[in-house]
Amino acid sequence: MVNSEDVRKIAKLADIGVDDGEIEEFTSQCSEILTYFEMLDTLPQGKGVDRGLINIFREDEVTDSLSQEEALKNAKETENGYFKAPRVM
């Protein structure tokens, strides 16, 4: 179960804006879904997961990449060959 404050906090963490009007809807839907997820509580913790994973390495060689022009092509705001972003501080 989650309450509206939980949803607000999670939405803020994930940078997903939510309106006051949406909070109630998301809270009730997420609560219902998380209650369904609680069936996982009956399972043992940390049963070994066997995926047969192996590391994939490649030689550390210089290869072609997108040109600066191509990389910037889809950005709406650029300056001197850089992406222009909102201020962080």
Mention every residue, 6+ apart, whose C-beta is less than 8 A from residue 81.
Answer: 68, 72
Binding mask 44-63 for other proteins (x = CB under 8 A): xxxxxxx-----x-x-----
**Contact, 51 vs 57, CB < 8 A?**
no
Angstrom distances, CA of residue 12 to CA of 17, 18, 20, 32: 7, 9, 13, 21
CB of 43 to other proteins, least distance (A): 5
Q: Is 21 in the site for other proteins (CB under 8 A)?
A: no
CB of 82 to other proteins, least distance (A): 11
Q: Is 80 in the site for other proteins (CB under 8 A)?
A: no
Q: Is 64 in the site for other proteins (CB under 8 A)?
A: no
